[in-house]
Amino acid sequence: MNVYTFLKLFGCLALLMYGMKVMSEGLQKLAGGQLRHVMGAMTRNRFTGLLTGTFITAAVQSSTATTVLTVSFVNAGLLTLAQAISVIMGANIGTTVTAWIMAVFGFQLNMSTFVWPMFLVGVILLFQKKPQGKSIGEFLFGFSFMFLALCTLRENARDMDLAHNAAVVNFFQSFDPHSIWTTLLFLLIGGVLTMCVQSSAAIMAITMLLCSAGVMPIYQGIALVMGENIGTTVTSNVAALSASTQARRAALTHLIFNVFGVVWVLCVFRPFINMVCSIVGFDPQYVPVTDADVERNSVMVNYALCAFHTCFNVCNVLILIWFIKPLEKLVCKLIRPKEEDEDTRLRYISAGILSTAELSLLEARKEINLFAVRAQRMFSFIPQLLDMKDEEEFTKLFARTEKYESISDNMEIEIANYLNKVSEGRLSPESKSKIQSMLREISEIESICDSCYNMARHIDHRFRSKEDFTPEQYEHIRHMFSLCDTGLQQMINVLEDTVPKADPMQSLNTENEINSYRSLLKEKNIVDINDQKYSYQLGVHYMDIIGDCEKLGDYVINVVEAHAHVELTV
């Protein structure tokens, strides 16, 4: 074998991985919103969660997509940890479908006859205007690439003539097939290779290729398969590194699940493999003599690998599905909640962009709702500043308000960047409209935070001047603050869509009250200054606070309008 032969081999693997990726993304875009509804509706108990994980993984042909999706849902608070564990268990069963597809269609049937017509249909659909047609075309395109890679890989293997290649044969014969250290070494190799290429399907294809050629014993091939099961958990754990505590726990559960399965299988390694082989009619000790026997043996060894993959995950689920609560307690002990100020970071979109626009927008929606809650919390500092007399306490709270203003600026930029990245993908008109509304919402919420900071600055100027408001001014300011707080709560109710009868018109009524009260206080302020009830400078501080309250009310209306897609006349 020369360098060109190896390049052809790696090129086939690259094509296989690309085809799997495109096919999976096409299916996810086609399913889109349905995935969210299915996962939300069918995870009420451990068994429906198990079926959900199996169904979604078998449908999108990617356990990685399912586990990353599950971690994101836990991060967004849409799934509990117990629900996520059952879905992850199901994903491990669903991923075995990919191996069966490769064994039955990729390595045994000549799919090259069907690949080129599918390419033609896929390309035609890719140029359709309808998003659904493009998603189907993308799926067919990826599907065609995957089987073209498998056909090319099989032909390349025949050209390499692995069974008679002395270097390859001697390499595998140098390992003692009865040694536990050989099994552990190949398990490690399978895990490392899967971590590197981030595709268990690609390593499974290589394993099938080597075993069907007769150069690698099935026991070593199964050790590689076991390593692949551990290596594939890395993606979800990496995705969860910057996510919430619950999301990191869900990802860790996936790792523990597969490691536990590998440990108990190692304890009954050969008896378990021999039992699985007997189910599919394959004898690991049989030495084929005729060409017909060699051909049959190459087919049956692939079936044995797939059968082991399925039995391994099904048995593991049957053992662990009764221990979801203890698993939950274990990962909660291993991963403690972060002892940090949660207000300083994004909570829902920190795990990265999902491949489906609808799911990415769902995470952005929850992040924007949290942004609004933080804006209301920032506003709650303002009445406290107004009533503070101690200079040290006042300085601390004012510094905290400044910190919140800086956080709000960063949140606006990060959410906007996230939405802009989502908008780069193929979106439906509805999704495009949602992104435009969300961008306007975050801009207006950031303006609310600016108004809060401006109020804090005006109160600070008054505090430093050593001149105090009159009791009547305090009463007016507190009433205005109460109206603003009411408006902010109404805005949050509209954004979350969870409070019954969250009518946008309530926000309009509150804004009208704020405007009327501001006009009344503006006229009265002129009269009071003329009557020398307080100084002109104090009156300026007083009306600056009132004016920023009125601006805050305007921004609240803008947020409600953007979300509800209505125009409220103030």
Domain boundary among 334, 352, 386: 334
Domain that holds residue 176: 3-334
Residues 6+ apart with CB under 8 A from 416: 439, 442
Buried/exposed 344-358: b ≥16 CB within 10 Å, e otherwise: eebbbbbbbbbbbbb
Is the domain of 289 the same as that of 404? Answer: no
Is the domain of 293 the same as that of 375? Answer: no
Distances (CA, A) of 375 to 19, 120, 380: 45, 53, 9
Buried/exposed 500-539: b ≥16 CB within 10 Å, e otherwise: eebebebbbebbebbeebbeebeeebeebbeeeebeeebb
3-class SS of residue 498: coil
Tokens for 85?
């564990």
Rounded Cα distance, 93 and 50, in Å:
9
Considering the domain boundaries, does residue 452 fall inside one? yes
Residues 6+ apart with CB under 8 A from 78: 36, 39, 40, 362
Element (H, E) at 253: helix 245-267
Considering the domain boundaries, does residue 242 fall inside one? yes
Q: Is 242 exposed, middle or buried (0-12, 13-18, 19+ CB in 10 A)?
A: middle
Is the domain of 119 the same as that of 80? Answer: yes
Rounded Cα distance, 98 and 100, in Å:
5
Residues 6+ apart with CB under 8 A from 522: 543, 546
The DSSP call for residue 287 is: -
Is the domain of 295 the same as that of 417? Answer: no
From the list 338, 358, 333, 361, the residue with the least C-alpha distance to 348 is: 361
Is the domain of 464 the same as that of 483? Answer: yes
State pTM to two decimals: 0.59
Is the domain of 13 the same as that of 144? Answer: yes
Count of domains for the chain: 2
Domain boundary among 334, 354, 369: 334
Count CB-CB contacts under 10 A for residue 402: 14
Considering the domain boundaries, does residue 556 fall inside one? yes
Render each residue's pLDDT in the chain as its tens digit; 570 residues. 566 766 777 787 777 777 777 776 676 666 655 655 565 555 566 777 788 778 777 766 666 667 766 766 676 566 777 888 888 888 888 888 877 877 776 665 666 677 788 888 888 887 877 777 777 887 788 778 777 777 776 666 666 655 556 666 677 777 877 788 888 888 888 888 887 776 677 778 788 877 877 778 888 888 888 888 888 777 667 766 666 677 678 778 888 888 998 999 888 888 888 888 888 888 777 666 666 766 777 778 888 888 888 898 899 988 988 888 888 889 888 887 654 444 556 666 754 545 456 667 777 888 898 899 999 999 999 999 998 888 899 999 999 998 888 888 888 888 888 888 888 776 667 778 888 999 999 999 999 999 999 999 999 988 888 788 899 999 999 999 999 999 999 999 888 875 556 678 888 899 999 999 999 999 999 999 999 888 898 899 999 999 999 999 999 999 998 888 765 654
